[in-house]
Amino acid sequence: MRPLYGLFLLTFRELWAKKVVLGLFVISSLVLLVVTFALNLNVVEGSLQGLRLFGQEATPAPSANGQGASEGPQLTLTNVVVTVEAIVAGMAYWIGILLALFASASLFPELQAPGRVELLLSKPISRMQALLGHVLGVWVLVGILTVYLMGGTWLIMSIKSGVWHPRFLLSILLVVGMFAVMYAAVLLMGVWTESTALALIVSYGLIFVSLVLAGAESIGPLLGSVGRPVLWGLYHALPNFSEVTELVVRLARDDPISSWYPLWSSLAFGGVAYGVSGYWFVRRDF
């Protein structure tokens, strides 16, 4: 277990040493500072009486029952809390994952570089353990950053408002889970090609494709007899990154989830990609 733990720690430290990760930590801290000090909720007996952002009034004057003015969407305390949390969750999902992929994409190709891989694989550690230690190191650091940002936001908003909805915490698992899925693509390309650039192109490409696949129901009928099954094949085979955004936001807003399928199919893709990565890594000559 010691060598596995050693590689876990090495990966963790290596990722932490990347400026992008430090940047993510600083941005997360700024978001938490804004949520803590710049967002002021005037709550009286459980109702929102006013909302100030950076000292400026951010809502129309509330009515007597604590709700906003009659024009536009009604602004309740719960609405404000879940909206803030949903914004942070959406940010963590899109910006956080994209930047975390950018920061971590070079790690495995670097680990396999001549001069590094010999030092690692000549130790009494199996290749599967080496891969596992690396992957766990990446997951755990991204998990810590996600918990710091999203968990911190949830805690601050809940304390400030008195509105606690623990379901939001599930969205943390979704963000980390989807990072893990997309990192599987990065790892697969890293093991196969040892190219950081290609790993990033493929993972970002999959995210872009998922934007198209999210509209499969509307696009499908427009396609011919060949295009339609291809589109549906891709929809089921590739990660549904874009569609999972809706799950994250729905969890953050405490809305019901109609289907978890985009998440399950994405996790299946991740599982297969990790399996293939492991198989190739074990069989490779260095």
Partner 1 sequence: MPAAISVSDLSKTYRTGLLSRSTVKALRGVSLEVPKGEIFGLLGPNGAGKTTLVKILLGLVHRSGGTARLFGTPVQTPAARQRIGFLPENHQFPGFLTARQTLHVYGRLADVPQIRREEKIDELLRRVELYERRDTKVNTFSKGMLQRLGLAQALLNDPDLLFLDEPTSGVDPVGRRTLRDLVLELRDEGATIFLNSHLLSEVEKVCSGIAILRDGEVVRKGTIKELTAVERVYDLVSTPVPDDVLDDTVLRSSPDGTAPAPDLRAYRLQADDRATLNGVLDRLRAADVQIESITPLRRSLEDYFIDVVDPPSDVDATG
Residues near partner 1 (CB under 8 A): 2-3, 5-7, 9-10, 13-14, 17, 113-126, 129, 283, 285-286
H helix or E strand, kind and range, residue 113: none
- Cβ-based nearer residue to partner 1, 13 or 275: 13
- Cβ-based nearer residue to partner 1, 134 or 250: 134
- Cβ-based nearer residue to partner 1, 79 or 129: 129
Closest distance of CB 137 from partner 1, Å: 12
Q: Who contacts 42 (Cβ-Cβ below 8 Å, separation ≥6)?
A: 48, 49, 50, 51, 52
Exposure string for 132-170, b = 16+ CB within 10 A, e = fewer: bbbbbbbbbbbbebbebbbebbbebbbebbebebeebee
- Cβ-based nearer residue to partner 1, 116 or 208: 116
Closest distance of CB 15 from partner 1, Å: 11
H helix or E strand, kind and range, residue 40: strand 39-44
- Cβ-based nearer residue to partner 1, 134 or 160: 134
Closest distance of CB 100 from partner 1, Å: 19
Rounded Cα distance between 150 and 130, Å, is 30
Closest distance of CB 271 from partner 1, Å: 25
- First and final CA of the chain: distance in angstroms? 24
Closest distance of CB 275 from partner 1, Å: 19
- Residue with tokens 């997360």, as numbered in its chain: 28
- Cβ-based nearer residue to partner 1, 122 or 225: 122
Closest distance of CB 272 from partner 1, Å: 23
Distance (Å) of CA 111 to CA 130, 188, 243, 273, 281: 10, 14, 33, 19, 12
The count of other CB atoms within 10 Å of the CB of residue 207 is: 20
- Cβ-based nearer residue to partner 1, 106 or 242: 106
DSSP 60-111: PPP-TTS---SSSS---HHHHHHHHHHHHHHHIIIIIHHHHHHHHTTHHHHH
Closest distance of CB 123 from partner 1, Å: 4
